[in-house]
Structure 1
């Protein structure tokens, strides 16, 4: 049985915790959760799990896997510490890896301690196909992300369009994946994951839309190369509590955990 810890207990952290508690994440046990501030005494928490603000106490739990579910700053703050404590690290704030120095530092730490950085498919599909396809020549990898206005509050999108009155789809970004990941740290982590699976941040093109005609977070991947061509489009129901993300993200983490403890592994 693998011992798991989670950094962050917001919408994603709670959803991952629930999936582990309901035995949908394989033969794993949730041992500890690191939070920024103590939880309200009335909040429901997982049984037999330490919830703490104490970094040392968390990283001394001898965890097999730590899941980062708390944003770019948390990954930058705790990523190397997680690896050096002897844990493999599942990363959800993949956009933070657009910072070359930070990415290389994490890789160096993982290699030094013989641990893995694990990036789930999360909000998109087809990363396995893209990662296989780059073993041959790739001509193009493109991502088109569309989200309804409610998913863009609190982001740079508010400076580009009136989210209250917008009536037609509006492109708020057209460029490469590195710039997309930096501009939209909570909304376009998928561009970073696609870049790492494929041909890199500079050569992966990204378009981002505020789209009032849809009610789901939509991502379309187009990839062309020696392997052929693939176009994959997913429509994700957003979390009610946090429309910037989707339940499929935590479900993807549960799949990763299940794969690590299952006799049968599919889709890698």
Structure 2
């Protein structure tokens, strides 16, 4: 006999208090996330603070205390500073500048002992769910290549180009160290699958592009996947940031409030056993 659950036994979502969110950074991503929260575009979440480079220690302490989750959107130096602080306080932090993990042998070296979590949004690329599933099936014969195509200006190239120019080829870790503002997608893919040293990253400067392009290619015994993305750039980012990134963060916030959802890589505090992967 199937047990009967009365409507009163179901969790009352309306009774759950709004998710308190603090945003670190007032650049293109931080501003867009803050505006989405203020405009009610993230159901069940509210903005409690925006931290800037000039914020005082008291303002930072108050924001960490008031927030349920913080959104880092201020660059790798800010991520380096805030990740252990926020996770140590038992809070979640959504890290947009996930290239910071390239500085550490293991992502957990930066996180410390927690108990808070680091959440990495999918950002400018998709397909993390199927790629993570493919990696879980086995990585010995797997290969993942990520090609990023941006305008020369977005990559800091001042010379005049008439044709596309490959400016980098190496691991996701090396890409993040050389291009910290443009390699977060490579790092997110690596964290979800093969790790920073096994994902091949290629960066191309193309004078003919108006949007950022990403090509993701995976091959292993479980399957072969070829995904392509073409994102409009945020006009306030100098061509470096895809406009969809802020909305990817909004999706993560909505998922936290709902208790489930795709499009995020969870980096745990405990160091994994050799060969283990972080969990999307």
Do they fold alike, i.e. is TM over 0.5?
Answer: yes
State the 1:106 CA deviation.
Answer: 3.2
Which of 192, 195, 198 lines up with 1:197 in the alignment?
A: 192
| Structure 1 match to 2:63 | 58
Q: Which whole-Å CA distance do the structure 1 matches of 2:234 and 2:259 have between them? A: 32
Instruction: Give the alignment partner of residue 7 of structure 1, picking from 12, 17, 24.
Output: 24
* Corresponding position of 1:48: none
1:266 positional shift: 5.6
Output the CA distance in 1 between the equivalents of 2:50 and 2:58: 9
Inter-partner Cα distance in structure 1 for 2:89 and 2:105? 21
- Runs (5+) with no aligned partner, structure 1: 39-50
Distance 1:228 1:101, change over 3 A: closer
TM-score, normalisation: structure 1? 0.85
1:261 Cα deviation after fit: 2.1
- Give the alignment of 1:16-95 within 5 angstroms: 16-37=33-54, 54-61=59-66, 63-95=67-99
Is 1:179–2:174 an aligned residue pair? yes
5+ residue gaps, structure 2, are: 1-17, 264-279
Instruction: Return the alpha-carbon distance in structure 2 between the equivalents of residues 53 and 166 of structure 1.
Output: 48
Counterparts of 1:91-170 in structure 2 under 5 Å?
A: 91-101=95-105, 103-110=107-114, 113=115, 115-138=116-139, 139-153=142-156, 157-158=157-158, 162=159, 165-170=160-165
SS of residue in 1 equivalent to 2:80 = helix
TM, length-normalised to structure 2: 0.82
Displacement after TM superposition at 1:102 (Å): 7.0
Q: Which residue of 1 aligns with 2:258?
A: 262
Q: Conserved in 1, the CA contact under 8 Å of 2:88 and 2:112?
A: no
What are the within-5 Å matches in structure 2 for residues 232-243 of structure 1? 232-242=227-237, 243=239
Q: Distance in 2 between matches of 1:53 and 1:177?
A: 37
Alignment length, in residue pairs? 244
- For residue 83 of structure 1, report the CA deviation from its aligned partner: 1.3
CA distance in 2, matches of 1:263, 1:86: 17
Structure 2 CA distance for partners of 1:129 and 1:211, relative to 1, 3 Å = same
Name the residue aligned to 1:215: 210
